[in-house]
A = this chain, B = another copy of it.
Amino acid sequence: MNTPAQASHDDSYASEHDHKKCVSEALGTAEHLCVVRGVQLTPIRHQVLELIWENHKAVKAYELLDRLKPQMDAAKPATIYRALDFLIEQGLIHRVESLNAFVGCRCSAHQHEQLLLICNNCQEVEERSAPEVMQALSQEIKQADFIVHSKALEIHGICVKCAQTMAGEQH
């Protein structure tokens, strides 16, 4: 009937925020946008989006496949990749190029290209719209006479929570 064990375990981010709200907002926005756009958020696509939103970590396609199989025995790589293609096209998830992985997008309704801060320790991804960076980038690209199709702006490192945890453990 429901899924009680969602935000209770090792999810560090979830321990500090109301992740159910993240999920319901993301799914609600996705459903709304798909209706408005006249595209189909089919059961498979919806399930994959939910799986991606289990947490804020970047997740691999084959890990999603493993997570989907219990609910859908017929799931194959194409099942996942087709759903991912759709979700990316609709701007509902980000592909994290430097990890070959995927993460839910919190800004589906607005501009989609964001700066991604990717923690090498916990795999969580923080999106930032970083307007000053984007402004400087526009200038730079204009100077280069380059016609932009898409941007991948990915920073790897240690997020603030992991940094605190590590500091507390003092090596």
Could you list which residues of chain A lie within 8 angstroms of chain B, going by C-beta atoms?
97-98, 100, 115, 117, 120, 126, 128, 130, 132-133, 135-137, 139-141, 144-160, 163
25 CB contacts below 8 A, A to B, read A97-B154, A115-B137, A115-B140, A117-B141, A126-B146, A132-B139, A132-B140, A133-B136, A133-B137, A135-B136, A136-B136, A137-B155, A145-B163, A147-B158, A148-B156, A148-B157, A149-B156, A149-B157, A149-B158, A150-B155, A150-B156, A151-B154, A151-B156, A152-B152, A152-B156
Q: Distance in Å from the Cβ of A99 to the closest Cβ of chain B?
A: 8
A155 touches B141 (CB 8 A): yes
Chain copies in the assembled complex = 2
Residues of B within 8 A of A117 (CB): 141, 144, 146
Q: Majority SS of interface residues in chain A?
A: mixed
Nearest B residue to A135 via CB reads: B136
B160 touches A155 (CB 8 A): no
